Structure 1
Amino acid sequence: MYHIGDQVVVEPTALVAGGAALARVDGFPIFAVNVFPGDIARVELVEVKKGFARADLVELITPSPWRRAAPCPIASECGGCDWTALRLDKQLEAKRGILFESLRRIGKIHDAPEITLHPSALNYRLRSRLHRDGDAIGFYAMRSNRVVPLAEECEVVGVNTAHVIPSVARDLGGRGNASQPHPPRSLADAREDIWEIDGRVITEGELSIAGYRLNTDAFFQVNRHLLQTMLQLVQTHASDVRSKKTAIDLYAGVGFFSAPLARMFERVIAVEGSPVSARYARVNLPANAKVIEAPVERHIAKLPPAEFVFLDPPRAGTRPEVIRAIAERTKEKIAYLSCDPVTFARDASRLIASGWRLSTLDLLDLFPNTHHVETLSSFERAQT
């Protein structure tokens, strides 16, 4: 029997949902971070359960050919990007495997369509949620609330954010000159969303991104490089619908997807629970789009039938009653943007059980250098 603090040598065989590498020692599964398939590594157990253990890297004995030279000096401890040491092509390969395995194991879906991959350039974040502890400003460490100071070599945040924030931290600590003489007011807080729009680093106020108006309290898609790709894919799915009478956008945010749908359909209904995002959706959308400020789960029973339904729920996915309503009231096509492969597999299984067929899968790499998997799928009514 293993105990917390034990050290073992592992040879991982796969990366799994959540980002850890799976290894088996005498048949016992160990999920380790900062190691990858092909590594031979010594790890220390930090959590031991009856059926598995979790571990941290202690020593890399033999590096995997999947690895690359980590460009960031804090890559092994920063929680902002847990896969930085993994080659970008292998990141995509691993994410595709995680999605297929989630569909097979969680959703019991064994005939999923081929996955189309959409890679992203680096320094992709429009918005970065950073934390401050004293003069340290950065992401939390892995599985910790300790703040790891952001490095200028960071490949996740915007290029200028990576330069400005470390200089602000140096100012706060009195350790030299900085390119920005005074930190943004809100960086005095313990947590702050830092936006970088067209090279400008912004912490509060109104923004304009790709023609959409919002403020720093509203939700917007994070990856600057794949905004148009996402819009084009959703428009392609919507264009397949024969009748263009009604489209519904659930978890609509500031209307990012509702706006192009409003150009294609006679009527669009956008449902958004956040008052801030709903307010900006009304600003961004034309007269044929109706914005309903309400939680989707509370309003779903009141929605009319629609030819096309698009949903972009949070990481937890959506509730069974939402799936039932969508399955019953959608006439032609459903498109689902998911940020978690496990909850997506669960929801996809429920749609299939309700008479729908999973017809397309696009994996959008919205978060390179991390384990996060974003999936855009489409469903059509199954042939009876």
Structure 2
Amino acid sequence: MSTSPLTRADVTLDVDRTDTAYRDWLKEAVRRVQADANRSADTHLLRFPLPERWGVDLYLKDESTHPTGSLKHRLARSLFLYGLCNGWIRPDRPVIEASSGSTAVSEAYFAHLIGVPFIAVMPRTTSAEKCRLIEFHGGRCHFVDDPRTMYEASAALAAETGGHYMDQFTYAERATDWRGNNNIAESIFRQMERERFPEPEWIVATAGTGGTSATLARYVHYLQYDTRICVADPENSCFFDGWTTGDADVTCDRGSRIEGIGRPRMEPSFVPGAIDRMMKVPDAASVAAVRALEKVIGRRAGGSTGTGLWSALRIVAEMVAAGRQGSVVTLLCDPGDRYLDRYYSDAWLTGQGLDITPYAAVIDTLLSTGVWRE
């Protein structure tokens, strides 16, 4: 009996692209990133003092104590693990990121940790202290005059250098394990367990990529908590407009003065359907809130903390007015020493045309009377 020759369609095709040196490098890179998490203790949950009789407690999750000083340390770690495990980050090839500063500081840290170059594409107006920190961790700053061009400039640099464009604005919501694994949501609920109102009525976040609010909201829904999620948005940002109108393509023509949050477009990582409420916060109110924070608990924080704190205080006032007890949590995103020449500078406020006086009066009135008069 004769046998016909096998054709290409009849045989097993086998292509093995195993690169032993690369796999060894990858295992070591992932180990180093995971070891950073293993070395890090959890961040503190601080109480913002309110009168006991109100029956409302306010907390700030202090993310400024991460090794790179901000909430973005968690995101950068997740993005690096995501990029490494997908095979996108390679030895000796640069990682490029579009950032207003804090994510770039954290990503520069992780790039240095695994031994790859890092380039941050940032608005020229980014604070000098953030630029110094990026360079301290071995990164390089590439400035653009128009914040709306950061995405294209980052992609072009990646193509030119053979590197990887991290693209936090697309991948933030999917790189983080929102079901748990010590993400920020799981951490908050664990730390709240022994408080008098352990399940928060509200958690207030701000949006730069939208990844943090997506993590918080998904975790709450997944574990069937009654906690609601509010996102506070600054001026010159499109998250609020996109959420209220349902238009994902909404844009604005200028960048946010509140570094780290606010975007000229509604970013892909923002998940509007998971969010319960949004507030549009004037920039002057954000600054008034961070200055009030320093007076009350002795801590300076960046402007994004003020945006969230203003919204949290307004929710507190609503609860007091309604006679509703419970707890509210917001975030202390990064330290104020990065912004001494901005949010803590009266000359900067004057130059920006910002008057924080009426907003400071609203906070003072609330803390002394329990009444919100805006």
Larger helix fraction of residues: 2
Q: Which has the higher contact order (CA 8 A, sep 6+)?
A: 2
- The TM-score, its normalising length taken from structure 2, stands at 0.31
Greater share of residues in strand: 1
